[in-house]
Amino acid sequence: MHADSTTTRKAAALAAFAGLDREPGVAKPDPILVVDNVVRRFGGLTAVDVAHLEIQRGSITALIGPNGAGKTTFFNQLTGFDSADEGSWAFNGKQLKGVPAHRVARTGMVRTFQLTKALSKLTVMENMRLGAQNQRGENFFRALVPGSWRQQEDEITERAEELLERFKLNTKRDDFAGSLSGGQRKLLEMARALMVGPELVMLDEPMAGVNPALTQSLLAHVKDLREEGMTVLFVEHDMDMVRDISDWVVVMAQGAVIAEGPPDTIMSDQRVVDAYLGAHHDAPMSAEEFEEQLQEAEAELEAEIEEKA
Amino acid sequence: MRRAVIAFTAFMGGLVFLLTAPAWADGEALKGTLQNQGQPVNGVKISVVAEDGKPVDDATSGADGKWEVPVPKAGKYKVTLDTSTLPAGVALKFQNRSTLDVQVYDGSVRNVLFALVPAGAKGGAAPADDGGTSFWDRVAQLTFEGFNLGLIIALAAMGLSLVFGTTGLTNFAHGELLTFGAMCAYFFNVVVGVHLVWAALISVVIGGIFGYGQDRFFWGRLRRRGSSLVAMMIISIGLALFLRYVFLFFFGGEGAPYADYNAQPGIQVGPISAAPKNFVAMGIELLVLVIVGLALLKTRIGKAARAVADNPALAASSGINVDRVIRIIWTVGGAIASLAGIMLGLSQNVSYQMGFQILLLVFAGVTLGGLGTAFGALVGSIVVGLFIQLSTVVVPTELKTVGALLVLILVMLFRPQGILGRRERIG
Amino acid sequence: MDWNAILITTVKASIGLETVVYALAAIGVNIQFGYAGLLNFGQAAFLGVAAYGMAVTVATFHLPFWLGIAIGLAATVVLAFLLGIPTLRLRADYLAIVTIAAAEIVRLVFRSVKFSSVFGGSDGRQNFSGDFFAMNPYSPGTYGIGPISFNERVTWILTVGWVLIAICCGLVYLLMKSPWGRVLKAIREDEDAVRSLGKNVFSYKMQALVLGGLVGCLGGFLFALGQASVQPDLFSTEFTFYAYTIVILGGAARVFSPVVGAAIFWVLLVFVGNTLSEAVSAGMLPSLFTVNNIGAVRFMLVGLGLMLLLIFRPQGIFGDKREIALDAR
């Protein structure tokens, strides 16, 4: 039955993307997140400048791009951790510009971080419980009356235990989160995000710093999210992983979305190749490309000097 | 036993005794130091009358401006300064406060303060724009004094800011580096008897060694142990307390001036009147700041220091020996903080709390300019110095620091990155 | 050496007024710093505005005692908001600098000549504790065991003080066991993570700042009432630093550590102080030590102790090393 639903969910996602244009900002049949003209500048540097982007509901979308493409900054803006200079974006039709991070999370758009933020001096279980929403005991006055929140706490604990079991962290239940390995922390962070009950899960480099032995199980967990009806948007560098699990890929370079497309063909897109070669010095390149890159670098340096002056 | 009881009572009396007069004598007394612009004023008669109108005793201020009148018991006393005995050119700041009512507590010596100003520059609401000092003359004078204070703050702020930039340490013991320098100079000048110029030179060198030693044997070790920044901040508080009370132990709770340049008559330059030592001090301060600034901009080590302050990890990976740079910063920071302390001692008095008292202003200067930027600290400090002095046009002198600290808080509110700082990128 | 006198004063110090006041101030600091990770270096100001709020209401404006208490509490809350709104969104060290600056502002305003008609300048305010001692249920006499006894006034203030300490400890215990306390501890670890889980971090920090201030301000009331007088210099920055020393001595983020820490702090301070001054007058120390400078020695030891604690035992006497708020290793 599980396998069956896998195919249908995946098939549904793939069907939604079938026949879509490969242009940046192409319209999706049922977008959960719609972004318009989002701009973020640091001094004179434009870190993010996304004209239009839609994320399909129920799919796994990968956000890739060379270092410094603005992926993390874009993530920070969408989730309210950084402010945008211009633009607007809507999650399930709700405008989120200027909404603080905790409210964004409450609407059902929950993120994780590139550097894991396991709360190391809390136990694994406490980490999990923290994720639950609308807790009565989190109100100052009701906190003083244990009877008012005990029952809810038990329900939360039960839910947390189910998730811990699924993520194979149940044996670590009462350990301090600080004692977990890097990969286990990633798992904990994902499980904790699920305690919020999100519709859209945003993962910032879920594979960074994870022991290869754990990679497969992490991948399976990400796929499971889609099977449960959630939408996933993730930033990743590892192209193998992107090819393996994503239904659709969005490519960013120098702050802008430069291409979109299915994972198996996106890397052969000329714009993507250019973007990556422009940033990776170790890739083999022709004399013209080298020349071009040199000029670009010089122009950049000049701009920087001008700005300082 | 009696002594123990007295000590305990005084102890229970609270920290006020520790702060104002750490050594409580057995007999109650009233005392004070008369000063005009940092210079002692002598030959002024002070008389004390008990609450019931019975005269207690008189005293005349000595060459160091000090006077003391023992009183028979704790209680309320009226202390009167005989204005007719004030030297020419010196006046009470508040005309109506030549007689003060003061309370003397059990076993304590009570400090009584008479604020003196050059005649003509009276405090209070009415600026005397008839006769001698016009409003603009006063502004000019205050601007000068503001620069004077600002430069001292800037000297201290350079070191604090660079240490913060390179190590992330918010050093609450930086003020004690100033006190240390001032006390060293006092030791060589007053106790050993060397001329102040030489004493200052020696102290600056010792201050540098002190800074070097702190990093070599203390902060550097803590960094290598991986102490968190918050822990180090609180350790610096411990160090500050420790040093402050070591100074108190050896120096005593009273302020004292240096032996040289003490009662210099003021000279008039345009609208500004000040003792020549102030002009020379400002010249030296400016010179040192320019040298340090140029060193930061032009020399290899200066560039390395700025690189480390900007991004320690990147600097390390580009071949800069970060530990060495930090040590040099501590050494130079200690030396110029020492100089700042000496200059502060010259314009006020040397006391065990002087560094701590100015530390908040240094913080204000550093934050105003943007934490961790050396030139920001310079600009911020001078702004703080100017602001403090010029604000006395509107607010009472005793509250001038309040204004500066309020501005600090407002800057935090509207421009937390400081005047010259940049917005930080998250993530 | 009069060991008997030293011993009596030392034992008295373990439950005396200073211990009570510092314990309350430290419980407040523990909520803010130990649990929530807020570096409030202006705790003295919270005690100050409370004490002055009460004293000024009663002594200057001749209004009722309980109104004075209400105004003291209100002043504390207002101060917390004034300090918190600009700084709680910023980095931790900004809060440290702003609170320390604010504490100095408060002290300077209290002692200023300009406002002396209200606050009484550096002499402060007296004559406001009458109503409090009128409520004293103890009849005149001494209470205690043998030489360890207090007069009826001190007994009354200590009774109130220790009851308040018990209530505050109970409050902290309940709160830190609850989901509310969990959010607070999580904020101390990493506030971005907490934000990403849908918690309003700013609001919780503010609650912690206000609560810590209010607990501390009870200490301010007791300080003022116990001495029947307030003076601005009681509320200096060093007061706050001693409160931090106490919290770290006992172990941050522990319910009873501020109380035990305060008792140990004052016992040591009184014991060392009295022993040293006895030793000086008995001529047992080198002539470098005099009656005048011996007082400084014990505060040197406070500074030294604070440093050594953080370097070698950051979890304090009772803390669990895995759970401490400070990663000093």
Q: For A74-101, what is the mean pLDDT?
A: 90
Average pLDDT over all residues of chain C = 90
Place of tokens 């404006």: C61
Domains of chain B, by residue range, sit at 28-118, 135-414
Nearest to B409 by CA among C113, A253, C95: C95
Helices C65-87 + C43-55 axis angle, to 10: 150
- pLDDT higher than 50, residue B125: no
Q: How far is CA B354 from the centre of its chain?
A: 4
Interchain pair B230, C300: CB under 8 A = no
pLDDT of residue A299: 65
pLDDT, mean of residues C176-183: 95
Res. A305 pLDDT band, cuts 50 70 90 = low
Residue A135: CB atoms within 10 Å: 22
Q: Give the pLDDT confidence score for residue A91 in this predicted structure.
A: 93
* Single-letter code of the amino acid located at C220: G
Residue pairs between chains A and C whose CB atoms are closer than 8 Å: 108
- Check whether B427 has a pLDDT greater than 60: no
| Cα A190 to Cα A42, A63, A166, A169, A249, distances in angstroms | 30, 18, 11, 12, 21
Sheet holding B39-40, edge to edge: B39-40, B35-36, B116-118, B90-92
**Nearest-10 Cα torsion for A66, A70, A71, A75:** 170
Kindly indicate the confidence band of residue C328, based on its pLDDT and cuts at 50, 70 and 90: very low
Is the per-residue pLDDT at C133 higher than 70?
A: yes
Residue entry with tokens 């008292």: B357
Antiparallel, parallel or unpaired: β B267-269 and C142-145:
unpaired
Residue A36 near chain C (CB below 8 Å): no
Look at B189 and B123; give whichever has higher pLDDT: B189
Span C44-54, mean pLDDT?
96
Which chains share 3+ C-beta pairs under 8 angstroms with B? Answer: A, C
Whether the pLDDT of residue B128 is over 60: the answer is no
Sign of CA dihedral B18, B22, B27, B28: negative
Burial group, residue C137, by CB count within 10 angstroms (0-12, 13-18, 19+): exposed
Best B171, B235, B351 residue to mutate vs chain C (most C CBs within 10 Å)? B235
- What whole-number distance in Å separates Cα of residue B49 and Cα of residue B31? 14
Question: What average pLDDT score do residues C71-86 get?
Answer: 93
Compare CB distances from C186 to A81, A130, A149 and report the shortest one's residue: A130
B392: enclosing H helix or E strand? none
Hey, how many other C-beta atoms are within 10 angstroms of the C-beta on B29?
A: 16
Is A279 a residue whose pLDDT tops 60? no
Q: What are the tokens at C172?
A: 């902290």
With CA atoms as reference, the chain B residue closest to A70 would be B427
Residue whose pair of structure tokens reads 């930086």 in the numeric block: B174
The predicted model scores a pTM of 0.81
pLDDT of B231 strictly over 90 = no
DSSP string, C180-224: HHHHHHHHHH-HHHHHHTT--HHHHHHHHHHHHHHHHHHHHHHHH
Q: Which two tokens stand for residue A59?
A: 């799919």
The whole-angstrom separation of Cα B350 and Cα B190 is: 11
Chain centroid to CA C219: 6
Task: Give all chains having 3 or more CB-to-CB distances under 8 Å with chain C.
Answer: A, B
How far apart are alpha carbons C174 and B15 in whole angstroms? Answer: 34
Task: Tell me the residues of chain A between 89 and 128 that have a Cβ less than 8 Å away from chain B.
Answer: 113-114
Whether the Cβ atoms of residue B220 and residue B323 lie closer than 8 Å to each other: yes
Give CA separation, C72 vs C48, C68, C124, in Å: 9, 6, 16
- Would you state the pLDDT for residue B17? 33
Q: Which of A105, A149, A178 sits opposite C197 (nearest CB)?
A: A105
Report how far residue C280's alpha carbon sits from residue C287's, in angstroms, rounded to the nearest whole number.
8
Nearest to A76 among B422, B423, B427 (CB): B427
Dihedral sign computed on CA atoms, order B157, B159, B163, B169: negative
B135-414: CATH architecture? Orthogonal Bundle (1.10)
What is the spatial distance between Cα B247 and Cα B176, in angstroms, rounded to a whole number? 9
In chain A, whose CA is at the least distance from the CA of B422? A43
pLDDT tens figures, B355-369: 988 998 998 888 887
Higher pLDDT, B93 or B394: B394
Rounded distance between C-alpha atoms, residue B366 and residue B384, angstroms: 10
Q: What is the pLDDT of residue B419?
A: 55
Is residue C248's pLDDT more than 70? Answer: yes
At A122-153, the pLDDT tens digits run: 999 999 999 999 999 999 999 999 999 999 99
d(CA C48, CA C83) in angstroms, rounded, equals 15
Query: Domains of chain A (ranges plus CATH)?
Result: 1-118+195-266 (3.40.50.300), 119-179 (no CATH), 269-309 (no CATH)
Residue B270 in contact with partner chain C when CB distance is under 8 A: no
Q: Return d(Cα C240, Cα C242) in angstroms, integer.
A: 5
Interface test with C, best of B17, B76, B78, B241 (most C CBs within 10 A): B241
Position B276 scores a pLDDT of 83
Q: Compute the nearest-CA separation of B225 from chain A (Å).
A: 19
Residues B328, B329, B332, B335, CA torsion sign: negative
Per-residue pLDDT tens for C29-39? Answer: 999 999 999 99
Q: For C229, phi and psi rounded to 5 degrees?
A: -165, 145
| ipTM rounded to 2 decimals | 0.87
Between chains, do A73 and B425 touch, taking CB under 8 Å as contact?
Answer: yes
Residues A59 and C127: their CA atoms lie apart, in Å, by 74
Under DSSP, is residue A250 helix (H, G, I), strand (E, B) or coil?
strand
Q: Three-state DSSP class for A62?
A: strand
Question: How many Å apart are CA B337 and CA B331, to the nearest integer?
Answer: 10
Contact C327 B231 (CB under 8 A): yes
* Structural domain B28-118, CATH architecture: Sandwich (2.60)
Contact B157, B174 (CB under 8 A): no
Q: Terminus-to-terminus CA distance in chain A, angstroms?
A: 66
Determine contact: C246 vs chain B, CB below 8 A. Answer: no
Residue A241 tokens, joined: 């992983």
* CA A160 – CA B214 distance, rounded (Å): 50
Q: Mention every residue, 6+ apart, whose C-beta is less than 8 A from residue B301.
A: B295, B325, B328
> Best mutation site among C310, C324, C327 for testing chain B: the one with the most B CBs within 10 Å?
C310
Q: Give the model's confidence band at B15: pLDDT under 50 very low, under 70 low, under 90 confident, else very high.
A: very low
Cβ–Cβ gap C238/B4 under 8 Å: no
For residues A83 and A162, which has the higher predicted lDDT (pLDDT)?
A162
| Pick from A259, A203, A220, A163: nearest CA to A72 | A203
Q: What is the mean pLDDT of residues C12-16?
A: 91
B230 in contact with A at a CB cutoff of 8 Å?
Answer: no
